[in-house]
Structures are given as structure tokens and as C-alpha cells.
Amino acid sequence: MKLESVRVEQFKQFKKPFLLNGLSGGINVISGPNEAGKSTLVRAIRAAFFERYRSKSAENLRPWGDSSAAPTIELVFHHNGQNWQLNKSFLQRKRCDLSIQGTTYSGEEAEEKLAQLLGYQFPKKGASKEEHWGIPGLLWVEQGSGQNIEQAVVHAGDHLQSALNSLVSEVVSEGGDGLIHTVRQQLGELLTAGGAPRGEYKQLLADELPGQQELDALESRIDQYQNQVDRLAKVAREFHKIDREQPWIKVRQALAEAQERYRHIESLQGQQQTLNQALTSVQQRAALLQRNKQQVQADGKQLQQREQEHNTAQQALNDVQASAAGLHAALEQCQSQYRDALEVERQAGLLETRQRLEHSSARAKTQLQQLSERKSRAAELQQALGESRKLTARHQISKAAVDQLRTTQRQLDDTRLRSQAIATRIEWQLKAGQQIELGQDTLSDQGEQLLLSSTRLRIAGVGEFTITPGGDDLARCQRQLEQLQLALGEQLLTLGVADLAAAEHTLVAQERAQADVHRLLELLQSLVPGGLASLDSDYQALSAELERNCAEKEALAPATTLAKGLPALAQAQDLRSDAENRLSAAEKRFGEHEKALLAASHRYQNADHEWHTLRTSLNSEQRQQEVVQLNSDLIAVEQEQARQQERLQQMLAQIAAARPELVQQDIQRLGASADQLEQAQRGRELELKELRARLEVWGAEGLEEQRGRCLAELEQNRRRCQQLQRRAEALQLLLQLLTEKRQALTQRLQAPLQKHLNHYVTVLFPDAQLEVDSQLLPGRFTRDGETGQMAELSFGAREQMGLISRLAYADLLKEAGKPTLLILDDSLVHSDSVRLDSMKRILFDAAQRHQILLFTCHPDNWQDMGSETINLEALKARAVI
Amino acid sequence: MPRFLHTADWQIGRYFNRFDTDNSSALADARYGAIERLAQLAVEYNCDAVLVAGDVFDAQTVSDRCIRRTFNATSGFKGPWVMLPGNHDAALAESVWTRAQRINAVPNNVHLALQSGVIELPQQKIAVLAAPLTQRHTYEDLTAPFDSLSTPPQWLRVGLAHGSVQGVLAEDIDATNPIAADRSASAALDYLALGDWHGLKEINERTWYSGTPEPERFRNNQPGFALLVTVSEPGALPQVEALETARYHWHQWQEKLVVETDIDELLKRLDELPESSVLDLKLEGSITLAGEQRLADALSRAEARYRSVTYDRSRLLLAPTEEDLAGLQASGYVGDVLEQLQARQSGAETQIARDALAILASLLLEARKEEHP
């Protein structure tokens, strides 16, 4: 295939017509700066082939902003000696005209021709995608996609295989592909790509279960229907049988009989009731009579009782009366005794008074005497007291002052001692006749002295010594001493004593005197508590009393009138009170006795009265008659009672014999049975009605007919389903076998492809190997003993490998007589200069066999390709019609 | 001379599952047609009555429409029809008969023998001793009472029963209740009209099965007839004539094809079938592609021509000849595949391989045809 020219108009940046022509059959380097339109031209060529002229996705082919544009492309090329001319426009003006050596085609027909020629396909709808691009997708390398080759090979797979079939040395299957396609199509009607049923097949399978379920449901309903029919038959049989027999009639008869018997029993029971009543009244009468009889008996007893009471009362009365006299005597005795005791007492009293008076007089005298003693004593004491007091006054001295004196004395002594201690002591022992002068003193012989102050010691013939005792203290002491002496002196003066001893002596005397005073006072006090004055008054009182007593005594009767041997008053009193008590006791007894007598006579009278009354009434004639009558009545009643009892027993026996409880039970049982039998029959009748109604409704549904229909449908479905299943299986088997075979064939293309690939690889890497697999994909790459995948190579290397592979495919296609136009848009940009050189060699070689359009913006890189570079800018500047 | 038509086993309401809807509905319809034909014959031959010995209906719960159509179909003959409940349409407490009566579908001249006893046809002086089946399953001889049933003197005594005659028909009969072989003698019957055996069959001079008037299964036991029974006078031997009533003829063929001529034979026979045929073919053996083609062709035409053609070719293996293969022009691997499939036919997946082979062959032939129209 050789592309001659490309003309575009209203195509993206090519608003005005643009013509690319003058293309050679080998390599064509087309250069232009960025945005010159290189890729746009490539796009145009692709659109011309890939996009359907009616495509709605061609919007982006328009120039910007021109919504009314109709992008147009014209291509002219040769293939196999034929001239092909394609004229395609999109959007606003849709057309596709193809002329192949004069024969014209339009529209889809033209598009199909193109697809067939180059080995690609159109999408069913929408824009063309890489999976549609087939062989051109492999050979026309888009910018930046040179390193990716796998997808392109996969998409071109079928087309490649179809195109390359003729290369296989054996006879290939003509139309084999078409066959596979057809088989696949037919299989696709039955199964999805995933092998799942679709369409009618799927529907049939889906209908199986509901169909079966419907059938099952009908079956069960038919079953139900039949059950109901059987039940109807059964119930109807029962109903009719029972209807004929009418068992309740007999039962009702028996019931009536039982009821009759019961009524009879009831009448008997009525009679029994009457008898009962009669018996009861007789018994009542008997009881009444009996009570009367008892009453009579009671009356008799009562009479006896009353008689007894009368006798008892009488006896009592006699007893009481008997004791009267004794009591009376006793009483008199007591009275006299009392009188005597009283007199004794009086006299005893008198005696005592006299004695008392005498005593008190005596006493008063004694007391008087005592008092005067005391009085004199008191006077003595008073005297003593006076003296003591005087003494006290004489020895007046304050204790406190004495104490102070003592203290002062002591202090003085202490101070003196101290001073002496402090004082300088001087001892002397003079020889006989010697003398010294110490201070004022002349000392001789021996002695000692304390010096309290500076003292001069003069020793005649020697000199003078001044001895100054040391110490402050001493001075102080001295001073103190002086002070104390002064004080002492003063105190002594105050006290009026010569010295402490005298003071103390005086003090002691004072104290003694005071003690005396105290003692005397105490004595006085004890003697005369109230004082002398009171003593005197007491004395006066006592004297008066004495006088009175004497007077009183005189008033009393002389002692001789009194009886001899009088007891003491107290005793007399006791005697008297005893007598009094005895007397009152006797009086009480007497009183009581009177009362008893009264009561007893009262009782006696009552008892007597009652007894008499009762006796009279009981012994009356009327009464006697009544008693007789009563007895006879009683006998009669008892007889009758016996009779009635017997009748009642008979009746009861009769009733019992009739077994009323059993009859009652029979009635119940029979009644219930009859009801139940009738009820059951009614129930049956009802059920029959229900069943008939239900069956009428169900019968109308024609269930078995429905089932027949359902089953027929189901069977038909199954048959058809099975048919389709068999067909699907057969198609699957067929497809499998066909594709297997074909695959085997394809694999045989592996070798020639490998050969072509090797041819190029050795130019690039002398010792390397790139293997192509059974899917005709380049993969394993071996170099310097190392093996890896092509995909693992660097970007640049992959670009190179990708291109080489494509060239190998192109070679193979060429062998098969297929068109091989190569379009490389900005390829090998990542190749270094060394590799680029090798690639150029390769490309040049390939260009001997294929037309290559190489678009670049680096024309310098491609100067040495042996052909003139086509400058796009220059072309654009050229005006085109 | 009293004369009546004896028929049985109408099986109205039966569904023919094995056929597709069109055919099965046609076959169902044909059964009503049979009743009409019986009516026609009864009129034509001047019959006094038509006796139907059981299984009028195929099931108890047929639709009302079905019931009405059945009785309507009898309207051609105005004389008495006596219908006996069989085992499919037993006279249960509730049955298709009670239903029919309830919806007033039963014409006055149709007597339903729902109880064991005598049905008197005074005008015709025929006493029909009926032994209807009144239970879902019956195991006793229901014709036993016939022996003691009395009928008016000088009348014909005709027994009407449904079951299997003891000792004569052992297998495959539908109903379980037996009938004594000598019943006609022991009950002094002039004729005993039996049903349940779907083919025409004589038991003895006085005892016959009429079979179904319209075949409904593939059994070559002479279905499709009704019996015209003429008795000159009570006690005389009945004259029995078979009248054909069938609309469709059912054929079931099992053929083994080996050589080409076998196909020829088959196709010839196929061709000779009357149009009212219901054919079921079971084929086995082996056949060439050409033969398969011819067969398929013939069957396709037969399907259109006859009432129904069903066939099973799954056991008929394809054995393409050299010529066949050449004719297919299966080149390269396609040819290989053909061979493979042929070989596989004798393996485990016989049917699938056979079908695949058939599909492949047909696709190839089509392709050839397109190329060389």
C-alpha cells in the first residue's frame, strides 16, 4: 500500500484546505515545530478510516469555535495495483465516498471495504476505541504509546490471524473464521459471554421453578378437593344412615319413661312429706303432754321441797330464840364490868395527878437549888474572868510585833554572822603583859575579833596597822547590821521590852491570860448558856411554878379517899378499854342476834305460807282429774305416734325401692344423649351443606383441567429447554474444537514472526533475543545470559522494542500480501544517539519494504534518512484549492 | 329390532403433554368431534340408544365449558344416551356428574347411571343393567348384582360395565375392578357393553369392549371404533359391527437405519401416511449427511402435512461419507474438527458430538449454498 496524498479541510487547525502530497513509497520524514499540525494530520488519517462518517462523536474534529464546520478528509492511495480514493466528511455534511479503481461505494459499504482492506472494525455505536483499531492500531503508533505493544497486539489478534492465515504452509480453512464467527454468534444467542443462559433459554430455565410450583400447588389443591369429596361421601353416608335409624327416638322414649317413673317417685315423695308432717304434729302433741306430765311431777317435788323448807325455817327460828337469853346475860355482865373499870380509872387518875404534882414540886425545888448553885458558880467565874482580863490587858503585846521583833533579831543575828564571816578575823595571842590596841580597844592575852571595818591596830613600839576588811559586802553587811540594830531598838522600844526574850515572855503571858479568859468564858457559857440574866429568869419561873403546884395539890382531895391497891392510870385505862371493847362486842352480838331472830321468823312465816298455799292447790279435786286425763292422753298419743312412724317407714322403703337417684341419672343421661344425637345429625347436615358449597366452588375451577394444561406447558418448556441445552452444548463443543484447531494454526505463525523479529533485534543488540509467544506477543528478552520480560526494560528500550516488533508484524503482513502503512508520530524520543543510529538503520531497512510516515519536531535527528524532509510549515503556506 | 351403539372411554378433558400446544389442542378438540360423529352414526343407523361404558371424562374437575361441550356434542342424536361412570369419572359423593347436573348441562335424553341398578328405556324396550363405579378405587366385581336384577319381560337385557375381564386382559388395564368373564351368561344378558380397554376387543359373542372412539395414545390395539349392536329379539345372538369413528390415526414407529435404502423405505412409508396422522418416530442407527439432509427435509414436510410428527433422532448417529465431506468442502482445520466429532460420536458424549457434527455440517452446507446458489 502506498499513500499518495492527504487533503484536509475544516479539520481542527486546518480551517483552510491543506494538502500533503509528494510522499514516497519508503520513509517520509515530516517535520514541523510544535503545534504545526503533525498529530492533527495523523488524527485525520485515523478518522478517515476508523470513525464512521455518521458518527456523533466527531465533534472534536471541528475547528475551534466553528459549530457549522464539516471536517473533510480526502485520501488517495494505491494497493495491489488498484487506485483507492476516499472522500469523507463529518458532522454538518456527512458523506463517505470510496472509489476503487473506478468502482464507487458509499456510506457503510465503503466503510466496510476499508475495514476489510486494512484489517480493523467499526464500533457498534459511539466513538472508535483501541479495541476496534485492529492492524492499523498496531502499525500506526500514536505519540507516546510506542512502548506499549501488548494491547495493540491483542486487539489486532483476530485480524492478524485472518491476515496471516495464508502464510501457513498447510492448507488453511477458508471461511474457518467465518464459521467460528457464526458458531460464536449462534452460541451467543443461547449463552452470555460468561456461559450463563440468556434469552429464551434463560427464560425457560427461569420458568421451570414457578411452573413446577404452580403444578405442585394445583396438585395439592386437587388432593384437597378429593379429600373433601371423600369426606362428603363419608358424611353423607353417615347422615343418611342416621337419618334412617333416627336413634334419638328410642332414646327419647326411654327418657319419657324415665321421666314418668320419676314423676311417680315424686308423688310418693309427696305422700312421704304428708306423712312426715302428720308424724311431726303427733310428736309435738306427745311432747306437749310429756311436758305436762313432767310439770305435774315437778309440782309434787316442789311441795315436798316447800315442806322441808318450812321445817328447816322453823328449826332455825327455835335455835335463834334459844340463844337469846344467854346473850342478854352476857351483855349485862359486860356493862357492869365496864362501869367498874371506869371508876377505877377515875380514881387512878386522881392519884396520879397528885403524885405528879408532888414530883414536879420536888423537881422544881431541886432545880431551884441547882440554879442557885450555878448562879454562885457563875459569879465566881465572872470574877475570875475579870481578873484574867485584867491580866490580859497588862500583858498586852502584839503578837505580830513580837514576830517582827523576832524576825529582826534573827536577821540581825544572821547579818552579824555573815559579817563575821566576811569580816576579817583577827586572833591574837599576846605574850604576857603585852597589849595591843585594836581600834579603840586594848587587847591582851588572847582572843579574837572580827573586824568589820577599817580598824587600826596599834602595836606599841611597832607601829600602826590599818586593817581594812575587804569587800563590798562587808560594808553592806555592816550597814545592814546597823539598820537592823536600829530597827531592833525601835521595836523594843515600841514594845516596851528590853529584849526579845522579854517580849516573848510577855507574849506567852498574854497568851496564857487569853487562854484563861477563853476557858473561863467557855465555862461560863456552858454553865449559863443564856447568860446570867436568863438564869435569873429561869429561877423566877421555876419559883412561880413551885408555888402553883403547891396550890394545886391543896385543891385535890385528900389521899385517903382513894381506894387501896389502885393500879396505875395507864393500866386502869387499859382495863377500862378492854372492858369497853368487851362491852361493844357484847352489844354487837346482841344486835346481831336480834337481826337473826327477825330474819328467821320472817323466813319461817314465808315458808309456812307457801307450803300451805301449794298444798291447798295441789290437793284440789280439779287438779286430780287433770292428772288422770293427762296420763290417758299420753298413752293414746304414743300409740298413734308408733302407727305414724310405721307408715312413714313403709313409704320411705317404697321410695327407696324405686331408686330415685338412678332414675334421675337416667334422665340426665338419656336427655343428654338424645340432644347430642340430634346435635350430631344437625352438625352433619351443616357439614354436608358446607362441603357441597365448597365443592361447588372448587369444582367450578376445573382444577384437573388446569393441572393438565399446566403440566403440558411445563413439559413443553422442559422439552424446549432440553433442546436448547443440547444445542448449546453442541455449539460449545464445536466452538471449542474449532478454536483449538485455529489456535494451533496461529502458533505456526510464531516461527516466521520470530524470524523477522530476530532480524531487527540483532541490529540493535547483537547478542540479544526477543521471543514471541504463542499469542504472537513479544515477551521474553535475553541478553548477555540474563533473561527478563520486555516490559521490564527501560522506557527507551521498550520504545525501541515496540517499534521493532511492529516492523516484524509489518514484514509478516507484507508476506501475506496485506497493506502495511506505518505511521510513527514522534517516536524514539527517549533513545540516545547510539541507539538512535541503530534504529535509523533498522527503519531504513524496513522502509525498503514499507511506506513509513515519520512525524517529528526534531528534523536534525533525521537528516540522514536518505530522503528529503517534508516541511509542514512550508506546505501550509502553500495555497491549496 | 332393537339396535344400539356401544362406545366408551371418551376421556374428555385429557391433555396431551407430549405434543406442543397447537397439536394437543387439535387432538383435544378431535375428541368432541368423535362424540358428534357417534351422534351422526346413531342417526344414520337408526339406533335406539347410545351406551357409553365409562370414562366419559378424563378427570373429575374438568372445566364447566368442557362439560357443556361434551353434552352439547351429543345433541346430534335425540334418542337416549346412557352414560356410565368409570374409574376416571366415578360417581363419588361429589363428581363431575353432580356438577354437570348442578349446572344443568345434562340434556333430558341423557341418562346418567350414577347408581347400580336398572335404567329402563320404555320406548325402546331396553333395560340397561348399570354397574357404575362409585368409589375412587374399586376392587370388587360390580357386575355381580346383575345376576339378581330383574327387568321387564320381553325387554332387552343389556349390561353396561367398566373394568377388566378376569383372566383375559392381564396387563395394562386402567381400572382395578374385575369383571367375571361369564357375566353375560350368569346374568342372562343379551349383551354386555364394556369399557376401559381402549381398543376394540371381543371377549365372547355377547361381551365386547368398544374401545375409545378417538385414539389417544400410541397403542396399536385397534382404537377408534364404535360398535353397532343389533339384537333381533331378546335372547338372540347380537350382531356386532365395528364402525370407524377415528379422526386421527396414531402411529408409533421405531426404525433402525443402517443403509441408504432404509431411509428410502422410511421416507416412502412416511409419504404414504394419511394426513390425519399422529406420528411418533424413534430412530436409531447411523446415517450419512446426505441421508440426514433428506430425512430432515422429509420430516419438516411431514410436520406440516400431518397432524403431528414427533421424533427422536438422538440415537441416530451421523456417519458422513467421503462424498459428504467433499461436498462440505471443509478445508484445513474445519475438516479436522469434522473428523474429531465423528470419532467422538462413539465415545461418552455421543449426543453432543452428534449434534455438533450436525450443526457443523449444516453450517458448511449453508456456506456452500451461499457461494453456489
Residue A856 forms beta bridges with which residues?
A: A31
User: A730–B356: do the CB atoms touch at under 8 Å?
Assistant: yes
DSSP class of B284: E
Give the Å distances, CA to CA, from B18 to A81, A272, B88, B174: 64, 91, 20, 20
Which chain B residues contact residue A228 at CB under 8 A? 94
Which chain A residues contact residue B341 at CB under 8 A? 733-734, 737
How far is A622 from A653, CA to CA, in rounded Å? 47
User: B363–A695: do the CB atoms touch at under 8 Å?
Assistant: no
How far is A141 from A119, CA to CA, in rounded Å? 16
How far is B114 from B96, CA to CA, in rounded Å? 11
How far is A753 from A778, CA to CA, in rounded Å? 10
Q: What share of chain B is helix, strand, coil (3-state, %, to 5)?
A: 35, 25, 40
User: A734–B337: do the CB atoms touch at under 8 Å?
Assistant: yes
Judged by a CB distance cut-off of 8 A, whether residue A737 touches chain B is yes
Instruction: Describe the crossing of helices B260-272 and B289-305 by its angle, rounded to 10 degrees.
Output: 10
| Beta strand residue intervals within B37-93, DSSP E | 49-52, 81-83
Which chain B residue shows the shortest CA-CA distance from A730?
B356
pLDDT at residue A259, rounded to an integer: 93
Residue A870 forms beta bridges with which residues?
A: A30
- Give the 3-state DSSP-derived string for B227-255, with helices as H, strands as E and coil as C: EEEECCCCCCCCEEEEEECCCCEEEEEEE
Picking from B201, B238, B207, the residue whose alpha carbon sits closest to that of residue B219 is: B201
Please spell the DSSP secondary structure of B3-31, one letter per residue.
EEEEE----BT---TTS-HHHHHHHHHHH
Choose the closest CB to B332 out of A176, A230, A234. A176
Q: Which helix (H) or strand (E) holds B184?
A: helix B183-186
Which chain B residue shows the shortest CA-CA distance from A732?
B356
User: A176–B334: do the CB atoms touch at under 8 Å?
Assistant: yes
Whether B224 and B212 have beta carbons less than 8 Å apart is answered as yes
Which chain A residues contact residue B64 at CB under 8 A? 700, 702
Phi-psi region at A833: left, alpha or beta (left = phi > 0; alpha = psi -120 to 50): alpha
Picking from A790, A810, A785, A809, the residue whose alpha carbon sits closest to that of residue A800 is: A790
Which chain B residue shows the shortest CA-CA distance from A235?
B93
**What Rg do the C-alpha atoms of chain B give, in angstroms?**
26
Choose the closest CB to B332 out of A173, A225, A698. A173
Runs of H (alpha helix) within A395-429: 399-422
Choose the closest CB to B59 out of A230, A698, A704. A704
Instruction: State the nearest Cα–Cα gap between B98 and chain A, in angstroms.
Output: 9
Instruction: State the nearest Cα–Cα gap between A743 and chain B, in angstroms.
Output: 10
Give Cβ neighbours of residue A771 (< 8 Å, ≥ 6 apart): A754, A778, A779, A780, A781, A782
Pairing of strands B117-121, B126-131: antiparallel
- Give the 3-state DSSP-derived string for A99-113, with helices as H, strands as E and coil as C: EECCEEEEHHHHHHH
pTM of the predicted protein model: 0.55
User: B332–A744: do the CB atoms touch at under 8 Å?
Assistant: no
How far is A261 from A440, CA to CA, in rounded Å? 182
**Any idea what the Cα angle at residue A362 is, between residues A357 and A368, rounded to 5°?**
125
Chain A interface, best mutation among B15, B17, B61, by max A CB count within 10 A: B61
**What Rg do the C-alpha atoms of chain A give, in angstroms?**
89
Residue spans of chain A under pLDDT 70? 164-175, 423, 452, 470-472, 556-564, 879-881
Dihedral sign for Cα B246, B248, B251, B257, please: positive
User: A171–B332: do the CB atoms touch at under 8 Å?
Assistant: yes
DSSP class of B134: -
How far is A225 from A701, CA to CA, in rounded Å? 11
Whether A839 and A831 have beta carbons less than 8 Å apart is answered as yes
Instruction: State the nearest Cα–Cα gap between B318 and chain A, in angstroms.
Output: 14
Q: How many helices (H) and strands (E) does chain A have?
A: 18, 20
Pairing of strands A18-20, A27-31: unpaired
Give the Å distances, CA to CA, from A754 to A154, A772, A789, B281: 17, 6, 16, 58
Judged by a CB distance cut-off of 8 A, whether residue A602 touches chain B is no
Which chain B residues contact residue A730 at CB under 8 A? 352-353, 355-356, 358-359
Judged by a CB distance cut-off of 8 A, whether residue A223 touches chain B is no
Runs of H (alpha helix) within A700-794: 703-764
Which chain B residues contact residue A738 at CB under 8 A? 333-334, 337
pLDDT at residue A171, rounded to an integer: 45
Picking from A591, A712, A660, the residue whose alpha carbon sits closest to that of residue A330 is: A591
**Any idea what the Cα angle at residue B304 is, between residues B302 and B306, rounded to 5°?**
60
Which chain B residues contact residue A709 at CB under 8 A? 15
Residue spans of chain B under pLDDT 50? none
Instruction: State the nearest Cα–Cα gap between B164 and chain A, in angstroms.
Output: 24
Which chain A residue shows the shortest CA-CA distance from B59?
A704
Give the Å distances, CA to CA, from B26 to A20, A707, B14, B30, B32: 75, 18, 12, 6, 10
Query: Which cell numbers in the block locate residue B222?
Result: 385397534
User: A737–B14: do the CB atoms touch at under 8 Å?
Assistant: no
Give the Å distances, CA to CA, from A799 to A152, A673, B163: 14, 110, 92
User: A692–B94: do the CB atoms touch at under 8 Å?
Assistant: yes
How far is A318 from A313, CA to CA, in rounded Å? 9
Give me the long-range contacts of A641-644 (CB less than 8 A, separation at least 24).
A641/A279, A641/A282, A641/A283, A641/A286, A644/A275, A644/A278, A644/A279, A644/A282
For A538, other C-beta atoms within 10 Å of its C-beta total 17
Instruction: State the nearest Cα–Cα gap between B284 and chain A, in angstroms.
Output: 18
Which chain A residues contact residue B358 at CB under 8 A? 730
User: B66–A232: do the CB atoms touch at under 8 Å?
Assistant: no
Q: Which helix (H) or strand (E) holds A776?
A: none
Spell out a b/e string for A722-750, using b for 16 or more CB atoms within 10 Å of the CB, else e. Answer: eebebbbbbbbbbbebbbebbeebbeebe
Judged by a CB distance cut-off of 8 A, whether residue A689 touches chain B is no
Which chain A residue shows the shortest CA-CA distance from B344?
A733
Whether A586 and A337 have beta carbons less than 8 Å apart is answered as no
Which chain A residues contact residue B65 at CB under 8 A? 702
